């Protein structure tokens, strides 16, 4: 199990990223628009910089939903490799079978 504080911090980041996504996208669009006035683009860049850093989507770390493990997480299942293997061996994941050749 991962530290509870790390898992909770990541949940907070997910919430903040979802909350600020629209505002961030609008400001980024203004900054990247080359046809806009330089002053407006600069103001948008300043507003973007004032947003909390933990609200950026890049700050969210993929973690296992069950254990909170930060490494070896399969995106498709949002599970760590250890948990995925255990559930697959128990037959809990439909369509997943252990390979043999």
Give residue 36's pLDDT band: very low, low, confident or very high (50, 70, 90): confident
Is the pLDDT reported for residue 40 higher than 90?
Answer: yes
Q: Which are the contacts of 58, defined by CB distance < 8 A and separation ≥ 6?
A: none
Helix (H) or strand (E) holding 98: none
> What does pTM read for this prediction?
0.81
- Cβ atoms 61, 8 nearer than 8 A: no
Considering only residues 44 and 36, tell me which one the structure prediction assigns the higher pLDDT: 44
Calculate the dihedral angle through the C-alpha atoms of 34, 39, 40, 43, rounding to the nearest 10 degrees: 120
pLDDT digits (tens, 9 = 90+) for 44-87: 999 999 999 999 999 999 999 999 999 999 999 999 999 999 99
């Amino acid at each position: 199990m991962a530290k509870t504080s790390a898992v909770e911090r990541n949940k907070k980041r997910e919430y903040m990223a979802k909350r600020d996504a629209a505002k961030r996208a609008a400001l980024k669009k203004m900054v990247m628009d080359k046809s806009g006035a330089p002053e407006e683009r600069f103001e948008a860049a300043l507003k973007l910089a004032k947003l909390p850093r933990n609200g950026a989507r890049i700050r969210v770390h993929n973690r296992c939903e069950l254990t909170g493990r930060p490494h070896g997480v399969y995106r498709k299942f949002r599970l760590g490799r250890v948990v995925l293997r255990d559930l697959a061996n128990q037959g809990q994941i439909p369509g997943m079978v252990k390979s043999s050749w």
